[in-house]
Chain A
Amino acid sequence: MLINIECPACQQDTIKIEPHMLAQGASFSCPTCLVKISVAQSSKNDIVKGVEAYDAYKNRLAELQEQGNAPELM
């Protein structure tokens, strides 16, 4: 899942970010001005926790979707 963020440097384009890769230390570039953005070391734990919570949320939603697709008769 890619997240689009407006480039803070040129504000002309968007930078596409993949949260899992960002949490692993990857950097992403603006296609127009070529600046690179990445997570500062001080916030690495926060984004790792966020991505883990997102994965748990995704699994929970999949369970709910399954329940919605096969509802039990009452």
Chain B
Amino acid sequence: MAAESQILSMGQQFSGLPMGALIGGPLEAAAKANQQMAMTQLQFMMITCFNENSTKKGSYDPIMIEMTLDRGVIEPGTEENGNKPSISTMTTSFKLPLLTIIPLNSLAVDDVKVDFEMEVKSSFASNNSTEHKSSTAEKASFSAGGNVGPFHVEVHGSVSHNSSSEAKSDTHYKQSNSAKYSVSVHAGQLPLPQGVKTIIDAYAKNVSPVTLPAAEPVKS
């Protein structure tokens, strides 16, 4: 049918849309946000938790935090206190890298979802109407007369004809189509890289307490 050719196919309608930009745009923005987040994390880690080595360029030393550890120690009694054992507090210090104390992987873009739904509706309507009317009319009459002997004869006649015809046709055509296109993009944030985890674990496991020098007894 001629009308069918006038309606665009779904493929033609979608081809006119900038699908690349519509779908790629949000995805690219999400990927960019992810990249920015990774860079932000790296910058945070390098600036906050490391100091650049002044003697060796390009080398970074972790910022160490000195921690104190207090624990109770049972001391044997002396003659002065009647051989009664006592509990005193011993303080030791150890150093931890700041990297192990500040959370790095606690916040992350863990879910990025882009839903894109498009509906295209196309319709076409055609109206065709033709009307034809015709009519004919004919009319005729005659009269005749004469004398036949003592008689007078007269004849009258008339003929008429009337004809009428009517034709009407109405055509209506309508077509519509629709399509929905849905794109869902999901990107999950990766956990802390294994390399960073390993470094943090190595630092955390190599904490070696250093005993502070014992305070000299106060002489009275």
B107 touches A72 (CB 8 A): no
Residue among B44, B66, B69 facing the most chain A CB atoms (10 A cut-off): B69
A19 touches B103 (CB 8 A): yes
Assess whether A64 is interfacial by the CB under 8 Å rule: yes
Interface string of A1-26 (1 = CB under 8 A from B): 10101101100000001010010000
Least distance between B214 CB and chain A CB atoms (Å): 18
Among the stretches B22-30, B75-83, B122-130, the one at the interface with A is B22-30
When A60-B40, A67-B29 are in contact, do A43 and B207 touch as well, CB less than 8 Å? no
The residue among A1, A42, A46, A64 with the most chain B CB atoms within 10 A of its own CB is: A64
Size of interface on B: residues with Cβ below 8 Å to A: 49
Tell yes or no: B102 within 8 A of A by CB.
Answer: yes
Q: Is B184 an interface residue (CB 8 A)?
A: no
Contact of A50 (CB < 8 Å), options: B94, B98, B106, B205: B98
Nearest-Cβ distance from residue B41 to partner chain A, whole angstroms: 7
Q: Are B67 and A40 in contact (CB under 8 A)?
A: yes
A53 lies within 8 A of B47 (CB): yes
Q: Which of A3, A67, A73 contacts B101 (CB 8 A)?
A: A3
What residue of chain B has the Cβ atom nearest to residue A57's Cβ?
A: B44
In the complex, the answer to whether A61 meets B204 with C-beta atoms within 8 Å is no
Give min CB distance, B111 to chain A, whole Å: 8
Q: How far is the CA of A1 from the CA of B207 in the complex (A)?
A: 22
Residues 37-63 of chain A: 1 if any B CB is under 8 Å from the residue's CB, otherwise 0? 111101100110111011001101110
Contacts of B63 in A (CB 8 A): 46, 50
Annotate B106-118 by CB proximity to A: 1 below 8 A, 0 otherwise.
Answer: 1111001110000
What is the minimal beta-carbon distance from B201 to any residue of chain A, in angstroms? 9
The contact of B30 among A36, A46, A49, A71, by CB within 8 Å, is A71
47-98 of chain B: CB within 8 A of chain A:
47-49, 63-72, 93-94, 96, 98
Establish whether residues A68 and B109, one from each chain, have CB atoms under 8 Å apart when the complex forms.
Answer: yes
A46 nearest CB across to chain B (Å): 6
Decide if B37 is an interface residue (CB 8 Å cutoff): yes
Partner of B112, one of A1, A5, A68, A73: A68
The distance from the CB of B175 to the nearest CB of chain A, in whole angstroms, is 31
Extra contacts, 16 of them, besides A5-B100, A33-B71 (Cβ < 8 A), are: A5-B96, A37-B67, A39-B68, A40-B66, A46-B65, A50-B48, A50-B101, A57-B44, A61-B37, A67-B33, A71-B25, A71-B30, A71-B114, A73-B25, A74-B24, A74-B28
3 interchain residue pairs of minimum CB distance = A71-B29, A74-B25, A68-B33
